[in-house]
Amino acid sequence: MPVLVHLADEKESASIKRGGIKIGKYRKGIYCMPVLPDFYVSHQWLRELKRRGAKTYVGVYFKADSKMMVYAGYYNKEHRHITLGEAIKEIMSSDNPLGYELIIDRKIESKEIFKIKSLPQKIGWRYEPESHRKVPSCGCQFCVSIGGIKRAKLREKLEPKIPQPPYAEVVEKLTLESDEYEAANLLCYVRMKKRRSDPDKLRFLLDRNSDIINQDLAITLSKFSHANTKQFLLDLIEMPDADTRGYAASSLLDLYGQEVMSLLISKNDIVINEALEEYTLSNKPG
């Protein structure tokens, strides 16, 4: 049976292990790629997905019948409803498999998953699938080999330190930004370092009623040590979106640990309970 890989936010590992891969809001199905001899092709979407704001992605590996029907094609073109076996043959015979994707229109059960694995975080392309063929797309060891002539300078050129704009400037841009994905990208700058400033300056983002922005807010607040941070996160765990509640619970636990455990337990919420279990396991002695 073919092996497929789905890329997921590392924070979702515990819930995926327990409940499988669910079709999220505003998604057509489960996005995945077949595991091929070419590691790059199989995991090509990782760097592009990271632009959405998640810090670390993992590979969720599962097996599927080659006769299973999937939607297959390039991300910017119409997909065909064909068997998994046909789709894999199409990818392997393609002169340019970059930008290809498979979509499964059903949940992947936990019993179908046999491995969740950490991955290099700089594998794949960004913005355009073709970019890595022209010049190395990043400075990681997969794109620029270690020890080669002028490799260090090339890596430094490809992966320069990201200049961090002043916090006030980012907040001002957020007030003007109407696109939720661009707003999420701006929040990446906010969480580039620990902060003592008042996170309530970001509360206006709640008025956008965007699950994507709220999820990023829940993650970003883990970088704030201000007294108002806790209440902001407590407000987020009351949101209807499950991912927002889960991320907010994880941030509360990262910042306050045992202090908030009884409160979170009292919520009796599935995603919050998963965050509690993940925190307990990660802080288990030995």
Tens-place pLDDT, residues 101-123: 999 999 999 999 989 988 888 88
Same domain, 156 and 70: no
Same domain, 51 and 116: yes
Same domain, 91 and 24: yes
pLDDT of residue 185: 77
> 157-211, pLDDT tens digit by residue?
655 555 678 899 999 999 999 888 788 878 878 887 889 999 999 999 999 999 8
Same domain, 192 and 214: yes
Contacts of 196 (CB under 8 A, 6+ apart): 224, 225, 226
Last residue of a domain, one of 106, 127, 148: 127
Same domain, 147 and 103: no
C-alpha span between 21 and 17 (Å, rounded): 8
Please tell me the total count of domains within the chain.
3
Which residue matches tokens 């998963």? 274
Same domain, 143 and 222: no
pLDDT of residue 149: 44
Same domain, 120 and 145: no
Q: Are 211 and 25 in contact (CB under 8 A)?
A: yes
| pLDDT at residue 137 greater than cutoff 50 | no
Provide the domain limits for residue 251: 167-282
The overall longest dimension of the chain from CA atoms, in Å, is: 59
pLDDT grade for 284, boundaries at 50, 70 and 90? low
Point out which residues pair with 71 in neighbouring strands.
Answer: 81, 103
Query: Residue 271, Cα to own-chain centre: how many angstroms?
Result: 17
pLDDT of residue 148: 46
The pLDDT of 221-232, averaged and rounded, is 95
